[in-house]
Amino acid sequence: MATTSIAPRAIVFEDHGGLASALADLLQARLGYDVAACAGCIEEALRVAHVERCDVAVVDLDLQGVMAYPALDELQRRGIPYVIATGTWPMDIPSRYRAPMVRKPYSAQQLEQAIREASAGRPC
């Protein structure tokens, strides 16, 4: 009897539609993730963070001018690892939200490494 593997699931918080789409494609095609949801505003990010089952989240901190910290609080509460993919400088991120990070523009290899670190629970 053949076994089927279930792909890991990711969620994406990104307010630039083209970048969100490219990121979802990258996660699926290169890294083997099913993208469960994408959110482009803080309200949608909070809803997604609260209800979606996933293995990792990729989060742009600035969602239409609102910092995504409340969504990070929910991810932390649920024990979901996340990668910050942003243009925000690391020293501007409160220490309680520090996680593996890639600064825009980032490469597929940088994102893949950050996801590995987040999933392994390594400190950044």
Instruction: Express each pLDDT in 48-93 by its tens digit.
Output: 999 999 999 999 999 999 999 999 999 999 999 999 999 988 889 9
Could you tell me the CATH superfamily of domain 9-120? Response regulator (3.40.50.2300)
Task: Determine the Cα–Cα distance for residues 46 and 103; give it in Å rounded to an integer.
Answer: 22
Q: Tell me if 98 sits within 8 A of 124, measured CB to CB.
A: yes
pTM of the model: 0.92
Instruction: Indicate the SS3 state at residue 56.
Output: strand
Residue-range domain boundaries for the chain: 9-120
Amino acid in position 15: D
Instruction: Calculate the alpha carbon distances from 79 to 23, 49, 82 in Å.
Output: 22, 11, 9
Q: How many alpha carbons lie under 13 Å from residue 93 in its C-beta half-sphere?
A: 25
Instruction: Express each pLDDT in 2-48 by its tens digit.
Output: 555 689 999 999 999 999 999 999 999 999 999 999 999 999 999 99
Instruction: Express each pLDDT in 81-119 by its tens digit.
Output: 999 999 988 889 999 999 999 999 999 999 999 999 999
